[in-house]
Amino acid sequence: MKNVKKWNCILIIFLSIVTISIQSCSKDDDAAGPQPNSNTNTEGNTGTDSGTEGDGGSITLYKVEGDKIVKEKDYKVTGKLLEFQKDTKKHEEIWNLVKKIVPPDYRSRMSEFVIFAGENDGTAGYVVERTQDLSKWQMGIAIDFAYQGGFNARGELAYTIVHEFGHIITLDKVQVDSSISQGDCKNFFTGEGCSRGNSNINKLYQSHWADIWEEFGKVNNQSDAQKFYDKYKERYVTQYASTNPGEDIAEVFATFVTRAGGVNGNSRAEKKVQMMYDNAEMIKLRNYIRGNIAKSSRSFLPLPGSWKNANTFGNKNKTHCSIHKH
């Protein structure tokens, strides 16, 4: 009997250690957005004031099938979020804007699309890999954010989608090899895997981050982040871009797309924009997006750096279980 109790005690201790280990990954600040679905290795805010019951801010999960989204699951929600869930016309309106930004051949890399509420933590959108090889991604858009002040008011939603699309095209399997561990990676390690030598994010890192990487490693709080940004401001298109190389390249791509003109000067930030103009694929994407989004009261792109979180910092730490959010 004593042996049974002993083994029960050991088992409890073991399970406790495992639980703590999982939570330390899931509760990374950069992954504190909504829980996309039960299979995602992230933990969302599950407060009842959001009208959700156990699924973070998630409202509806869709499968992406070509040009269409097909409902996979409605999460259990109440109150205002239930109204958002029932208003599928809004879901379709958001998705139609995504289609104007993400070309069909790139859309095939998105296997899932989530409508969620971002009011708890201010998240406007996110992307997260859905396959280990980084070939399929899930995109989430906050419906409350999308209709704040009217659909795509001030172009904020369009900018968010461009930014999140920027994450996918710089972190997918074409750009990053997820089979290479950090210890074996000779290029920039993104968290999802080892960036390929000729990848856009590795080029950005080698040219604009490698020389200050040790100093960046000492950034531990908002005050440190502000000092780091103030010192190297000319390297970044927005303050948010100084969060880490992943956010930097997504912001460079968004600036490249939303700016009507070309490169403005010779600063480090503008050299990053020039890097986009030197890439035929990026130019093609820019032309597709700008050609599809006309400046109007309902659908337009904001001026570069004018989006509401441009002058904030994200969390610098990214791990394999992180959600890239905006």
Per-residue pLDDT of the chain (326 residues; tens, 9 = 90+): 555 455 555 444 444 443 333 332 222 233 323 433 333 332 233 233 334 443 569 999 999 999 999 999 999 999 999 999 999 999 999 999 999 999 999 999 999 999 999 877 778 999 999 999 999 999 999 999 999 999 999 899 999 999 999 999 999 999 999 999 999 999 999 999 999 999 999 999 999 999 999 999 999 999 999 999 999 999 999 999 999 999 999 999 999 999 988 899 999 999 999 999 999 999 999 999 999 987 666 677 777 677 777 878 887 875 333 455 66
How many degrees, rounded to 5, is the angle at CA 124 between CA 120 and CA 130?
A: 100
Residue 310 has a CB neighbour count (10 Å cut-off) of 18
Q: Which of 100, 119, 120, 90 is nearest to 161 (CA)?
A: 100
Q: For the whole model, what pTM was predicted?
A: 0.82
| Cα gap 91→152, rounded to integer Å | 13
Give me the DSSP letters along 218-258.
T--SHHHHHHHHHHTGGG-SSSGGGG-HHHHHHHHHHHHHH
Q: Which two tokens stand for residue 70?
A: 């097909």
- How many residues belong to the chain? 326
